[in-house]
Structure 1
């Protein structure tokens, strides 16, 4: 299935098993198009899980940077007991 990186939705419908195998084995997304525009992608499920985890890690890092910047700008940190209470953990 080499080179199957983009195909129409209609072609993908007719060759769904091949599309899934190409994404799963090749670990490259197969983009589905409609009227020449990409509308979706089929990717390996494990690859998607890794992408989601990486995005969540990046969001966490950005939140830490923002919190540190607030503290550096003079805002006081929220006490741990208050955080637990706000989350219903106290």
Structure 2
């Protein structure tokens, strides 16, 4: 049950949810043959969101390292002075 029309899903929502939870694969809801939404196990979604955030953090760290390599760093005393903390 990978693809189910919205109309069919509405009439057997419990089965759609159970299928997504038991098989740990999304059930795609379709309208006029096009995928419009998905039902996914809540724990699977949380894991995907955590992994997406981890990936975003890794990409940000890599970008910061590249910027440091290209532009160097600013000494801490200069940063404090710029914000009037020195």
TM-score by length of 2: 0.84
Tell me which structure has the larger Cα radius of gyration: 2
Q: Say which structure is richer in helix.
A: 2
Asked if the contact 1:7/1:31 (under 8 Å) is kept, the reply is: yes
Asked if the contact 1:8/1:34 (under 8 Å) is kept, the reply is: yes
- TM-fit CA distance, 1:36: 0.6
Query: Aligned Cα RMSD in Å?
Result: 1.5
- TM-fit CA distance, 1:76: 2.0
**Other structure's SS at 2:25 match:** coil
| CA distance 1:58–1:78, shift in 2 (3 Å) | farther
Unaligned 5+ runs, structure 1: 83-90
Number of residue pairs the alignment of both structures matches: 77
